[in-house]
């Protein structure tokens, strides 16, 4: 759920003088293919790792730890933000491809861990929500991807708004943890819109701004936005079900 880092095509590597958008067709196509191939592997790795975690002793232990203190979530959230920053830095490394892959793997693992409490609760009380949220996420992602590629519009102007919105959202999340109030259905809906805008922004960067050798960083950024979308669709469906 990376909601701060939205300058993901910065830190470009020197393997090519320009962006993929200005490269030869074969180079551009190869970059896009590799980006979405790595995204697919990241999602598959997340699903497998999440299944293993939810069926391991870690899930109830993590739930017990989080229930022990309202500040436990702040610690987990802070650790996740630090790991996300590190993983993103590694993925955008211009010196080592292995370091880039380590960043992507680290981020997928961190996402899988932070998703455990949400999906553990969903599997206990609303198991149908998880596959339904997965379908909705896939359909929305496909629609947003089609929009970005068919219009070829540069959505980089969304970057500043996403940064500000990310800080505002994090402020609400931290306040909800400290003061113990629920963010509710409407917040989840706003965050679904936020995550959708992030996917448009990331896809636009893939089309217009990334360099051909930055497919690992591009896939990490897109995976982060897809994970954020999935998180809030799960929360929205759970809140919608509890209000019936």
Question: Sorting pLDDT into bands at 50, 70 and 90, what band is 96?
Answer: confident
Judged by average pLDDT, the poorest of 71-75, 85-89, 190-194 is: 71-75
Please give the span between the terminal C-alpha atoms of the chain, in angstroms, as a whole number.
Answer: 28
- Mean pLDDT of the residues in the chain: 87
Which value, in Å, is the radius of gyration of the alpha carbons in the chain? 18
CB count in 10 Å sphere of residue 225: 28
Residue among 167, 162, 140, 143 nearest 229 (CA) = 140
Q: Is the pLDDT of residue 55 over 50?
A: yes
Residue range 83-89: average pLDDT?
91
Residue range 149-157: average pLDDT?
90
pTM given for the model: 0.89
Q: Which residues of 175-199 are buried (b: 16+ CB within 10 A; e: fewer)?
A: ebbeeeeebebebbbbbbebbbbbb
How many degrees, rounded to 5, is the angle at CA 53 between CA 76 and CA 189? 60
What confidence score (pLDDT) does residue 242 get?
67
Q: Could you give the CA distance from residue 78 to residue 73 in angstroms, rounded to a whole number? A: 8
What confidence score (pLDDT) does residue 54 get?
92
Domain extent listing, the chain: 23-243
């Amino acid at each position: 759920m990376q909601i701060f880092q939205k300058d993901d095509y910065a830190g470009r590597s020197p393997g090519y003088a320009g962006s993929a958008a200005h490269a030869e067709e074969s180079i551009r196509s190869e970059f896009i293919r590799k980006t979405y191939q790595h995204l697919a592997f990241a999602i598959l790795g997340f699903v497998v790792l999440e299944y293993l975690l939810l069926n391991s002793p870690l899930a109830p232990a993590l739930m017990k730890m989080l229930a022990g203190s309202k500040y436990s979530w702040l610690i987990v959230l802070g650790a996740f933000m630090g790991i996300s920053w590190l993983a993103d830095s590694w993925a955008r490394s211009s010196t080592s491809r292995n370091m880039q892959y380590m960043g992507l793997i680290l981020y997928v693992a961190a996402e899988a861990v932070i998703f455990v409490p949400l999906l553990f609760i969903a599997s206990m009380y609303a198991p149908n929500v998880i596959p339904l949220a997965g379908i909705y996420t896939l359909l929305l992602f496909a629609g947003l991807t089609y929009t970005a590629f068919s219009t070829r519009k540069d959505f980089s102007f969304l970057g500043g708004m996403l940064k500000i919105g990310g800080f505002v959202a994090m402020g609400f999340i931290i306040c909800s943890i400290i003061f113990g109030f629920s963010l509710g259905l409407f917040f989840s809906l706003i965050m679904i819109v936020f995550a959708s805008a992030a996917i448009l922004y990331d896809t636009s960067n893939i089309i217009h701004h990334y360099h051909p050798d930055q497919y690992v960083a591009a896939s990490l950024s897109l995976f982060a936005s897809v994970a954020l979308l999935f998180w809030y669709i799960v929360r929205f469906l759970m809140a919608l079900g509890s209000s019936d």
